[in-house]
Amino acid sequence: MEALNISVFRLSKVIGKTVYTTKGKYVGRVTDISIDIDMRSVSALEMKIKRKTTASGTEVVLVPYELIVAIDDIVLVGSKK
């Protein structure tokens, strides 16, 4: 019987983590997490990113969970294919 590969992590541990692309570019920090109640899964990570085009210099964006490559000491995000 093959073992299941189940990743379990505390959502509270993800908030505040720094986010980088798979190419090593700094993106921002995780500020919140969106949950799909019907699917019982994480749907997106909310991130605060630097934007020179906004008055505050930052912008909040939602990154779909499908683009998350890894979560550990940092969060790695891939690009849309």
For the segment 4-63, what is each residue's pLDDT rounded down to a tens digit? 444 666 788 899 999 999 999 998 999 999 989 998 888 999 998 877 776 777 788 899
More confident residue, 55 or 65: 65
Q: Is-contact 45 29, C-beta < 8 A?
A: no
11-77: which CATH topology? SH3 type barrels. (2.30.30)
> From CA 59, how far away is CA 48, in angstroms rounded?
6
H-run or E-run covering 11: helix 11-14
3-class secondary structure, 12 = helix
Which pair of structure tokens corresponds to residue 77? 């995000």
Neighbours of 44 (CB within 10 A): 18
